[in-house]
Copies of this chain bind each other. A is one copy, B any other.
């Protein structure tokens, strides 16, 4: 195995020879053998050990063992103690997940602080095979069957093509001692039952199981990569960034094959679960919505609009007092200035006769029943009809502010002025109001 390891380093990870490496060492046979082999390959490395405090005295003894290993190999050892149980409880995750998060976060912190180039872990082919079967038991999509990557970000896993058996044989032949994790021996955990009761049967059925499994993983990884490429291509054709989130082109969605699966892959990170309802939006009336815990998908005319879930109805109200010139509010910034005459015009600025206003001005969102007297039009108009005529989408309506004088609307901000406050007499005080996000 020593020769195979050295060849592997040479052929697949040639950069390791000139890098400063940080080795994740638990004290188990895999990581201890990795440390020995890195020493034999004359790599430049230090050891990082996590004490998760999950097995009391044993955890202490593991730490002690790794310290001694560092002495024997003449390399530096970093060790950190974690209150894994507390972290898991606070984050609401499993102990295993907590340990994983803590471990990788700390490794990366060490690496970047102390200028190591690469983190090495001792994951091997059996780990991958066990994970495959665990994901089969729990249910999974393709990603769960593609296995851990040999190289990702700053982490390299050089043992991924070696089996547990090879690693243990090497340790025995070279009289290398290691710490046996007492939880390994029991069938308490799913991984252990699969390791001891399932994999041995599969290996009897195919003595070359691990080799063929390595190829299987490569195939599935390739398929997954291609799938990601395709989704990326579809994303660029279908999805656009909008002011309030994202829009998905309904016309293209209807044309691509397997639309429901495409929707799943485009939207899977947003927490939706009712994929039939999501799919049905394509043939629903405009205005129809589907919610995830965090997001909302709205059927608009030609697009599905994805926004964050709004926090109930928006009843925020802001007041603007007389004399204020720059008003910075969460939605945007108003500037109000006195001007001598009316200059440039446009929907995003407003001229009013100051005397017609009642202070404080009020800035609020649209409510059912609101109406105004659009400048240049005779009579009044419901805000809802005005929105409809302008073909505003729901997020656009929700994000439109109304500038009011008492209960009268002065300006549908950035859309239309109200005629009642218009400048009739140029000799009166004129205010120019602009709004920008």
Q: Identify the A interface with B (CB < 8 A).
A: 132-133, 136-142, 145, 190, 193-194, 197-198, 201-202, 204-206, 209, 212-213, 215-216, 219-220, 222-227, 229-231, 233, 256-258, 260-262, 264-265
Contacts and interface: CB of A to CB of B under 8 A. Distances in A.
Interface centre among A132, A220, A223, by most chain B C-beta atoms within 10 angstroms, is A223
Given A229-B257, A257-B229, A137 B202 contact: yes
Contacts of A222: 258, 260-261, 264
Given A227-B230, A229-B257, A258-B226, A201 B198 contact: yes
Given A193-B204, A222-B260, 9 more contacts: A136-B213, A141-B220, A141-B223, A142-B142, A222-B258, A223-B261, A229-B230, A229-B256, A229-B257
Contact of A138 (B206, B231, B257): B206
B206 A201 contact: no
Contacts of A257: 225, 229
A137 B205 contact: yes
A138 B205 CA distance: 9
Which applies to chain A's interface (DSSP): helix, strand, loop or mixed?
Answer: helix
Given A193-B205, A198-B202, A230-B230, A219 B140 contact: yes
Nearest to A190: B205
8 contacts: A132-B136, A139-B216, A142-B220, A145-B145, A226-B227, A226-B262, A229-B230, A229-B257
Contact of A137 (B140, B145, B206): B206
Nearest to A189: B205
B261 A226 contact: yes
A179 to B, nearest CB: 27
Contacts of A140: 216, 219
Contacts of A219: 140-142
A227 B223 contact: yes
Contacts of A205: 137, 190, 193-194
Nearest to A134: B205
A277 to B, nearest CB: 17
A212 B204 CA distance: 27
A138 B261 contact: no
A230 B220 contact: no
Given A229-B257, A230-B230, A133 B220 contact: no
